[in-house]
Amino acid sequence: MSTPRKRSASKRGAPTSSVASAPRLLARVRVPVRWGDLDAFNHVNNAAFLVYAQEARLEWLAGIGGQWFDESAMPVVAAAHVNYRRQLAWPARITVELEATRVGTTSVTIAHRIVAEGDAACVHADGEVVMVWIDPAAGTPVPLPDAIRLACQSGAESAETTSK
């Protein structure tokens, strides 16, 4: 049985991407832990962590300025990954830190860390999502909007934490 060959990124016509030499901080967003996020074991259900990351991404997107979507280019999550590091209970407040780790032609990889508010060393979860901009009518990828590319490459102008 032969091993499938991987495509080389250096092939002609292959999408290009820029990988940040170091991840760029995009935002820190405070998110409350809600009683409804708990499961039968009285800790935050694993699905809620993806919602926390989503809320932080939307807060970041709303604050970047510029046109980041319209009827011909909208973001979708193509992949999501979460590492669960420490249980989280209610009541609690957390901070979601977002970093751009890869900026491609049509997509961006955004890492997230969910930490205890006021204690960044207490990591409850981390992971990443790949967001792809698509033409919703055609369902095909389109180039990243300039506002997204600029926001990811420049990072956050300040380390101020915003509240949700």
Q: What is the pLDDT of residue 15?
A: 44
Q: Which two tokens stand for residue 24?
A: 């760029």
What is residue 112's predicted lDDT score, i.e. its pLDDT? 98
- DSSP letters of 10-70? TSTTPPPEE--SS-EEEEEEEEEPPGGGB-TTSSB-HHHHHHHHHHHHHHHHHHS-S---B
Give the separation between CA 39 and CA 27, rounded to whole angstroms: 28
**Vertex 17, ends 15 and 18: CA angle to 5°?**
165
Q: What domains appear along the chain, each with residue ranges and CATH number?
A: 18-155 (3.10.129.10)
Sequential pLDDT tens for the chain (164 residues):
444 444 444 343 434 455 555 788 999 999 999 999 999 999 999 999 999 999 999 999 999 988 999 999 999 999 999 999 999 999 999 999 999 999 999 999 999 999 999 898 999 999 999 999 999 999 999 999 999 999 998 876 544 556 65
d(CA 13, CA 31): 42
Asked if residues 90 and 34 have their Cβ atoms less than 8 Å apart, the reply is: yes
pTM of the predicted structure, to 2 decimals: 0.82
Q: What is the pLDDT of residue 16?
A: 47
